[in-house]
Structure formats: structure tokens, C-alpha cells
Amino acid sequence: MILARHAKSSWKDRGLPDRLRPLNKRGRRDAPIMGRRLAEQGVEVECILSSPATRALATAEAMAEELGYSWDEIVADERLYHADSEDILAVIEEQDDWIDSLMLVGHNPGLTALAGYLSRLDFDNVPTAGVVDLRYNVTKWMGVAAVEPVQVTFDYPKKRQE
């Protein structure tokens, strides 16, 4: 399962409603970079769920393109817009069990809180365009939080610049 935070958004138009804020220049650069990094690691996704916010959907589309996933199969789920960790987990747990690889694109602070809870690691912050890849040996999404992941990978745009 991939938890991805939307890429950097624009605050240029202060009158624009929050959910309609687009990606800024850095966000438009970073989202495909992170999608490429996932593809280079051999990540394949069978389902991408995204917050319906413009910045989240644009991030999901950019990552999907790099992963060879069709844009028109991205599911915008209203429940993911500024959801807390419990709400995000509820969405994950109701997914069909035939899905082996799920990507979810959302917002902080819920995304960082869930990454920490599921990984059992202390995630201070998943930065914009950051991705947490959690690998499990399970056959059902329901109850996934009760199982410790067998592998956790955390990546973000500035990580390779440090």
C-alpha cells in the first residue's frame, strides 16, 4: 500500500477555495519524479484512490502516468478530503480484497498520522509529494492496521538531495 501526500500546491490566488488550489511549479515537477521513483522500485498499483481536491488529483494523475496506470481509473473519494487517520483507514479497510496494491493520495495531518500508526514508526511529517510504501503479508484489507508491515519505505522529493 502506498500512502502519498499531494505535491506542493499554489497559494497564488488567495480567493480560490481550498479544494480547488492547483499544484504550483514545484508540485508539477515533484509529483512525476516521485511516480518515476516508485516505478523504478518496481511498484505496480491496481487501484488509486485520491482526495477530490485539485492538487491531490493532479498528484495522483502525475504519479499514475509514471506508473503506467490509466488516469480514468483513479477514484476520487470525497471522504479523503482533509480526512483524519481513522477516516483514511476506514476507506482502506473497505477495499476489495482482490486488490493487492493500493495507492492513496491525500492530505496532512491525517496522512502522516496514519503512516506512523500503520508503520509503527515515528513519522514527524510526510512532506508534500512524499510517499510511504507499506508492504504486508495479508489477504484482506479489513484489519490491516492490526498487522505489522514486513517492509516500510519512505521517500520524498528532497531526500536524494540531502
**What pLDDT does 161 receive?**
56
- What would the mean pLDDT of 20-36 be, rounded to a whole number? 98
pLDDT at 162 over 80: no
Q: What is the pairing mode between strands 102-106 and 47-50?
A: parallel
pLDDT band at 26; cut points 50, 70, 90: very high
The DSSP secondary-structure symbol of 145 reads G
Q: Is 47 helix (H, G, I), strand (E, B) or coil?
A: strand
For the chain, domains (ranges, CATH) are 2-9+18-161 (3.40.50.1240)
Residue 67 parent element (H or E): helix 54-67
Neighbouring CB atoms inside 10 A of 91's CB total: 18
Name the strand (E) or helix (H) holding 4: strand 2-5
CA-atom Rg of the chain in angstroms: 15
pLDDT for residue 108 is more than 50: yes
Q: What is the pLDDT of residue 99?
A: 96
Residue 144 to residue 158: CA distance in whole angstroms: 30
Least confident of 14-18, 60-64, 115-119, 125-129: 14-18
**Ramachandran assignment for 33, one of left (phi > 0), alpha (psi -120 to 50 degrees), beta (any other):** alpha
- Hey, what's the cell of 45? 498499483
| Average pLDDT value for the chain | 96
E-strand spans in 7-162?
Answer: 47-50, 75-76, 102-106, 131-135, 151-155
Q: Distance (Å, rounded) from C-alpha 68 to C-alpha 39? A: 9
Between CA 157 and CA 155, with CA 44 as vertex, the angle to 5 degrees is 20
User: 46: closest CA among 132, 93, 104?
Assistant: 104
